[in-house]
């Protein structure tokens, strides 16, 4: 395993531009929820993310998961009160039990498919806190654990409802420990994309979906039926996930010709991630079958490659995936050719 590099910035699931849009187009209650979420996020970034003083034990056996689920009781203190730990039965609290189940599914994927033992590769205990804040419209990784809000109930459901959201946040921990990608500009968008890629792979693996059966949506089930949209992001067609009077239109580009230059959202990390997301979709569907069998391991090889720089851009990562595909499957392999072509199609390579 690569040495742990500097901690990444506070990585949240909900794009700030969505919350900002709600503040100008939502009802008075929704504006309050969005404002409180943005304020909570801003305040959290000012604190030092660190492991709990009495962190529970890691797994004692390779490949064995150790889950600890807490509730914040709609407060903002972490980790909160422990309500379910490894091996215990359902708690009866749907958010607690979803977090427990989905963390287990994510751990299983990383161990069975990528031979990685938890976030740090050494059996790190998985900590999740639910019921964070009041009507909190977000989920995040803070450098020590995963945290999930309940949503506002009008636009967004609880953030544990979607397996890929849980897997997305856990993957931020893997990215932090392996690549330490700077959470800004292209390296930040790559960071978000990788969290989406492995979030999608975990979901596909759990539900045994091939590339044709998969929906390629990130956060499907998170939006309520009041929203005109399917999810927060679409890997197949960035920019098509939602088009709603309150949320606005999905702004993600799928090609470098439409790359968004902005000073907000750390340089558009949640927006421009659509470009590498689509590259992965094109590679996976071009290869067919199960995405975790070929495209997934190539992306993971590139993520864990020591040549990936902390401020690596799309082009550097693309070249690494092509090189990793050649090493894993052969320099003249179909995998290498399809991966290379996928990056050409989104304008990253030529």
pLDDT tens-digit map of 66-104: 999 999 999 999 999 999 999 999 999 999 999 999 999
What pLDDT does residue 42 have?
84
Q: Which one from 8, 98, 154, 169 is the annotated catalytic residue?
A: 169
Over residues 186-245, the pLDDT tens digits come to 999 999 999 999 999 999 999 999 999 999 999 999 999 999 999 999 999 999 999 999
First to last CA, the chain: 32
Kindly indicate the confidence band of residue 53, based on its pLDDT and cuts at 50, 70 and 90: low
Kindly indicate the confidence band of residue 303, based on its pLDDT and cuts at 50, 70 and 90: very high
Mean of all residue pLDDT scores within the chain: 94
Compute the residue count for the chain: 350
What is the arithmetic mean of pLDDT over 130-137?
97
- Please choose, from the candidates 291, 289, 316, the residue with its C-alpha nearest in 3D space to the C-alpha of residue 302: 316
Active site residue 88: no
Q: Is this prediction's pTM over 0.85?
A: yes
What is the arithmetic mean of pLDDT over 116-136?
97
Kindly indicate the confidence band of residue 52, based on its pLDDT and cuts at 50, 70 and 90: low
| 80 in Cβ contact with 92 (< 8 Å) | no
What is the arithmetic mean of pLDDT over 43-62?
71
What pLDDT does residue 48 have?
47
Judged against a pLDDT cut of 70, whether residue 47 lies above it is answered with: no
Domains of the chain: 11-178 (3.10.170.10), 185-345 (1.10.390.10)
Share of the chain above pLDDT 90, in %: 91
Q: Which one from 107, 168, 205, 270 is the annotated catalytic residue?
A: 270
Judged against a pLDDT cut of 50, whether residue 2 lies above it is answered with: no
Kindly indicate the confidence band of residue 5, based on its pLDDT and cuts at 50, 70 and 90: very low
Kindly indicate the confidence band of residue 55, based on its pLDDT and cuts at 50, 70 and 90: confident
What pLDDT does residue 1 have?
35
Token pair, residue 311, equals: 């401020």
What is the arithmetic mean of pLDDT over 290-295?
98
Share of the chain above pLDDT 70, in %: 95
Judged against a pLDDT cut of 80, whether residue 305 lies above it is answered with: yes
Judged against a pLDDT cut of 60, whether residue 3 lies above it is answered with: no
Active site residue 270: yes
- The lowest-confidence range among 14-28, 48-62, 322-336 is 48-62
* Dihedral (Cα; 137, 270, 95, 246), 10-degree rounding: 40
What is the arithmetic mean of pLDDT over 15-35?
96
What pLDDT does residue 10 have?
72
Over residues 321-339, the pLDDT tens digits come to 999 999 999 999 999 999 9
What pLDDT does residue 6 have?
35
């Amino acid at each position: 395993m690569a040495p742990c590099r500097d901690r990444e910035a506070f990585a949240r699931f909900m794009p700030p531009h969505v919350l900002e849009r709600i503040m100008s187009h939502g009802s008075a209650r929704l504006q309050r929820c969005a404002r409180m979420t943005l304020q909570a996020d801003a305040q959290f970034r000012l604190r030092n993310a660190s492991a709990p003083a009495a962190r529970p034990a890691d797994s004692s056996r390779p490949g064995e998961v150790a889950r600890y689920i807490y509730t914040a009781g709609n407060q903002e203190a972490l980790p909160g009160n422990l309500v379910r730990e490894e091996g215990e039965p359902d708690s009866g609290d749907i958010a607690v039990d979803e977090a427990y189940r989905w963390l287990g599914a994510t751990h299983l994927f990383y161990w069975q498919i990528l031979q990685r033992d938890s976030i740090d590769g050494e059996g790190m205990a998985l900590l999740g806190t639910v019921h964070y804040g009041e009507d909190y419209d977000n989920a995040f990784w803070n450098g020590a654990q995963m945290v999930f809000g309940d949503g506002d109930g009008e636009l967004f459901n609880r953030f544990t409802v979607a397996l890929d959201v849980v897997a997305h946040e856990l993957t931020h921990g893997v990215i932090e420990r392996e690549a330490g990608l700077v959470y800004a500009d292209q390296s930040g968008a790559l960071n978000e994309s990788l969290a989406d890629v492995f979030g999608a792979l975990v979901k596909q693996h759990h539900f045994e979906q091939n590339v044709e059966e998969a929906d390629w949506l990130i956060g499907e089930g998170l939006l309520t039926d009041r929203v005109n949209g399917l999810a927060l992001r679409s890997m197949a067609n960035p920019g098509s996930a939602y088009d709603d009077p309150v949320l606005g239109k999905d702004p993600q580009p799928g090609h470098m010709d439409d790359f968004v230059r902005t000073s907000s959202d750390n340089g558009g990390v949640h927006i421009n991630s659509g470009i590498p997301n689509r590259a992965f979709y094109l590679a996976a569907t071009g290869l067919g079958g199960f995405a975790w069998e070929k495209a997934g391991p190539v992306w993971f090889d590139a993520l864990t490659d020591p040549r990936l720089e902390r401020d690596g851009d799309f082009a550097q990562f693309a070249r690494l995936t092509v090189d990793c595909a050649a090493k894993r499957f052969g320099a003249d392999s179909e995998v290498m050719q399809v991966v290379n072509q996928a990056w050409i199609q989104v304008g990253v390579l030529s």
